[in-house]
Chains A and B, each alone.
Chain A
Amino acid sequence: AQKVTQAQTEISVVEKEDVTLDCVYETRDTTYYLFWYKQPPSGELVFLIRRNSFDEQNEISGRYSWNFQKSTSSFNFTITASQVVDSAVYFCALSEARGNEKLTFGTGTRLTIIP
């Protein structure tokens, strides 16, 4: 069975600080995909990134970066120089790569950026 754990329920940081959101996953599959989604206060779910299990390169997109470590089954998300607009709930998710696209979500981390 698949499982995604986001141990940090809530995080608050002052604007311009860096913050890392942790994600640990469990799966028996050798091929899988990992995702991060953002849910701002308006409620929609916004796709941020997809990473497949064969690609362990870290990725950077502007102020966002992702660290995928297969050895520790982790896929952490770092926001550099945080801004108030980053305040949201962030979800990590996992899916198998057998043509079955079911997403298993973590419980989410509520990030509050204090101006």
Chain B
Amino acid sequence: DAGVIQSPRHEVTEMGQEVTLRCKPISGHDYLFWYRQTMMRGLELLIYFNNNVPIDDSGMPEDRFSAKMPNASFSTLKIQPSEPRDSAVYFCASSLQGALPGAKNIQYFGAGTRLSVL
């Protein structure tokens, strides 16, 4: 089975440009998470969805960041306009909260998108 798929793997852009990161969760999973990893702040949760509905976006740094999940198999994280301090690795993760033993509450991560804003 395919894992969480993120694209692109690397993104280099100039300050002020719009950046869109994409994520395809594991099929059948009902939770989707966006994390950001930096040297200074470590791994921090930005936002998460349950059944395509945003549940908690308190980690989104500011209005320049937005996330959507139009359907169960796709999510985007958009930064507009981008700034150099947004440079980080962005991870998407998904999980299944269901009745299957062992399946519940384990987040599986994508390979990440390394974003560099010049």
Contact = CB atoms under 8 A, between A and B. Distances in A.
A101 B109 contact: no
Interface stretch (A11-19, A74-82, A91-99): A91-99
Contacts of B110: 44
B56 A47 contact: no
Interface residues of A, dominant DSSP: loop
A35 to B, nearest CB: 8
B106 A107 contact: no
B89 A105 contact: no
Nearest to A91: B43
Interface of B: 31, 33, 42-45, 48, 55-56, 89, 91, 93, 95, 97, 105-112, 114
State the 3 A-B residue pairs at the shortest beta-carbon distance, nearest first: A45-B109, A105-B43, A44-B111
Interface of A: 33, 35, 37, 42-47, 50, 91, 95, 97, 99-103, 105-108
